[in-house]
């Protein structure tokens, strides 16, 4: 690790992120429709410990308290997602005014607190009624999503200026159709994964086009997960192997958005197996519709070396001797820096780190505090890498820590705590952790 330096420009923003299903609860209140995650988590065995988002952090009823906490933390930005099923309960039918009002009130509350809202349209909670019509495998999904996006732009575009279309398309298509850990829970079906992804990417481009007509003074982007594959050594073989691995993973969505084409080696592999549908030029143009910023979620890197025995990527993993988090993710801030350097070279639009964080098993002490020094250490390491990359010329505009609150870590349930704020799931009491206090001091220091 290089020397810790945490210098950020004054106009760089620090925030925290959440997602609707992970914090809101109130899963069937005020006209909300059922989402694929409601249905999935209600099937025993799908989520660890039988946990569900039925109540989660009860943010739906505690929204004002949560914004007050953000204010106390001096946050400059809050990244949240809108539940499609609150806005259009069956996905493509009537608009639910109570759902519109909930986010409208949240936005007003944020603006009153001087916090900039960053709104994500889709953080994995597809209306169940649309899944029953084929979900992202149905080409109509592009129209469903565009209409939903238009409703949201019209309702909030006067006050929200920063929008994200999709969160982590790689994860929800891969886990939905290959590992089966997420709804619709299908395993090993690459063809469906790629088809769903192709519709998601077109939905993104189509929403960007709609946005330009409705919100004239705002910015829109997409959030991609990038678990960067870094070469284990700088040998030509390992460098080429890592680049190939990236094509099959994060690059599958990054390259269409940024370069206007699917990555070539991976596309050839999938095409030869009948897993990549024919792609037209018009579709690629839609997918690569210009965006205003790229959001990146990053938690860890994978190190790889060349290995001809792996017929697909031609790589084998190499495990670095580093600390691991509660979720067994390696802490690899040097790889984060390498990834940022790659972005500095290829990206033509500003970057925002829309998620980065660490899961720990935080407990409240008898004094009522949470002493999460390991989280502070993690943040220092990753923010130092970011600060260095910015000093070297990377155009990165902001950083959102994942997450504001401890919350439902999808199929892993509630045990992995990512928050700056501890949530007691019995009483729903919030406790600001030491890391939250540290973060707010860092924000003050930047603004001095």
> Does residue 292 contact residue 281 with C-beta atoms inside 8 Å?
no
Smallest separation, CB 355 to ligand NOJ (Å): 5
Measured at the alpha carbon of residue 141, what is the angle toward residues 137 and 145, in degrees to the nearest 5?
145
Smallest separation, CB 408 to ligand NOJ (Å): 8
Residue with tokens 């009948």: 274
Supply 6's token pair.
């945490």
C-alpha to C-alpha distance for 82 and 124, rounded to whole angstroms: 10
Nearer to ligand NOJ, 57 or 215 (CB): 57
Nearer to ligand NOJ, 96 or 403 (CB): 403
> Strands (DSSP E) along 95-196, which ranges?
116-122, 162-167
Smallest separation, CB 313 to ligand NOJ (Å): 23
Smallest separation, CB 403 to ligand NOJ (Å): 7
C-alpha to C-alpha distance for 84 and 98, rounded to whole angstroms: 13
Q: For the packed helices 97-112 and 59-72, what is the interaxial angle rounded to 10 degrees?
A: 10
CA distances from 197 to 83, 252, 415 (A): 20, 9, 30
To the query of whether residue 65 is one of the catalytic residues in this protein, the response is: no
CA distances from 159 to 60, 118, 125, 139, 208 (A): 20, 11, 24, 32, 18
C-alpha to C-alpha distance for 69 and 439, rounded to whole angstroms: 13
Nearer to ligand NOJ, 297 or 302 (CB): 297
Please, how many CA atoms are within 13 Å of residue 170, restricted to the half-sphere of its CB? Answer: 21
Q: For the packed helices 141-156 and 97-112, what is the interaxial angle rounded to 10 degrees?
A: 50
Residue 150: helix, strand or coil by DSSP?
helix
C-alpha to C-alpha distance for 171 and 294, rounded to whole angstroms: 17
Nearer to ligand NOJ, 22 or 192 (CB): 22
> Does residue 141 contact residue 135 with C-beta atoms inside 8 Å?
yes
Smallest separation, CB 138 to ligand NOJ (Å): 24
Smallest separation, CB 412 to ligand NOJ (Å): 8
> Strands (DSSP E) along 337-404, which ranges?
351-355, 396-402
Active-site hit among 255, 289, 355, 409:
355
Smallest separation, CB 345 to ligand NOJ (Å): 25
Which residues are near ligand NOJ by CB under 6 A?
Answer: 19, 22, 167-168, 297, 355, 402, 409
To the query of whether residue 168 is one of the catalytic residues in this protein, the response is: yes
Active-site hit among 24, 168, 289, 333:
168
C-alpha to C-alpha distance for 296 and 342, rounded to whole angstroms: 13
> Does residue 249 contact residue 315 with C-beta atoms inside 8 Å?
no
Residue with tokens 């009537």: 94
C-alpha to C-alpha distance for 328 and 98, rounded to whole angstroms: 40
Smallest separation, CB 265 to ligand NOJ (Å): 26
Ranked by CB distance to ligand NOJ, the top (closest) residue is 19
Nearer to ligand NOJ, 17 or 128 (CB): 17
Alpha helices (H) in 43-136, listed in sequence order: 59-72, 84-87, 97-112, 128-131
Q: Which residues are catalytic?
A: 168, 355
């Amino acid at each position: 690790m290089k020397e810790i330096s945490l210098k950020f420009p004054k106009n760089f923003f620090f925030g925290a992120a959440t997602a609707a299903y992970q914090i809101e609860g109130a899963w069937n209140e005020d006209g909300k429709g059922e989402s694929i995650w409601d249905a999935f988590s209600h099937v025993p065995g799908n989520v660890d410990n039988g946990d569900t988002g039925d109540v989660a952090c009860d943010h739906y009823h505690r929204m004002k308290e949560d914004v007050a906490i953000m204010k106390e933390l001096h946050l400059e930005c809050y990244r949240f997602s809108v539940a499609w099923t609150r806005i259009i309960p069956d996905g493509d039918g009537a608009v639910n005014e109570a759902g519109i009002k909930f986010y409208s009130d949240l936005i007003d509350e944020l603006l009153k607190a001087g916090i900039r809202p960053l709104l994500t349209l889709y953080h994995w909670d597809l209306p169940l009624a649309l899944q029953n019509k084929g979900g992202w495998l149905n080409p109509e999904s592009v129209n469903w999503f565009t209409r939903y996006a238009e409703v949201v732009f019209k309702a909030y575009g006067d006050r929200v200026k920063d929008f994200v279309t999709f969160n982590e398309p790689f994860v929800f298509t891969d886990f939905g159709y290959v590992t089966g850990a997420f709804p619709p829970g299908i395993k090993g079906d690459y063809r469906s994964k790629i088809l769903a992804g192709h519709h998601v990417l077109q939905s993104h481009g189509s929403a960007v086009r709609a946005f330009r007509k409705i919100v004239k003074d705002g910015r829109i982007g997409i959030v991609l997960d990038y678990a960067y594959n870094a070469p284990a050594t700088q040998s030509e073989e390992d460098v080429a192997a890592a680049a190939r691995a990236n094509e099959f993973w994060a690059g599958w969505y990054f390259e269409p958005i940024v370069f206007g084409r699917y990555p070539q080696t991976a596309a050839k592999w999938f095409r030869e197996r009948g897993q990549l549908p024919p792609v037209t030029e018009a579709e690629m143009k839609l997918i690569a519709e210009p965006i205003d910023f790229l959001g990146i979620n990053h938690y860890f890197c994978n190190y790889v070396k060349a290995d001809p025995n792996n017929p697909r990527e031609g790589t084998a993993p190499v495990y670095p001797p580093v600390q691991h988090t509660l979720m067994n993710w390696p802490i690899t801030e040097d790889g984060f820096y390498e990834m940022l350097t790659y972005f500095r070279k290829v990206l033509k639009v500003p970057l925002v780190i829309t998620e980065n964080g660490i899961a720990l098993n935080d407990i409240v002490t008898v004094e009522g505090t949470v002493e999460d020094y390991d989280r502070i250490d993690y943040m220092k390491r990753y923010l130092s890498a970011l600060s260095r990359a910015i000093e070297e010329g990377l155009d990165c505009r902001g950083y959102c820590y994942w997450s504001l609150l401890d919350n439902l870590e999808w199929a892993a349930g509630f045990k992995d705590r990512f928050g700056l704020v501890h949530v007691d799931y019995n009483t729903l009491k919030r406790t600001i952790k030491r890391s939250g206090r540290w973060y707010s001091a860092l924000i003050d220091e930047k603004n001095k």
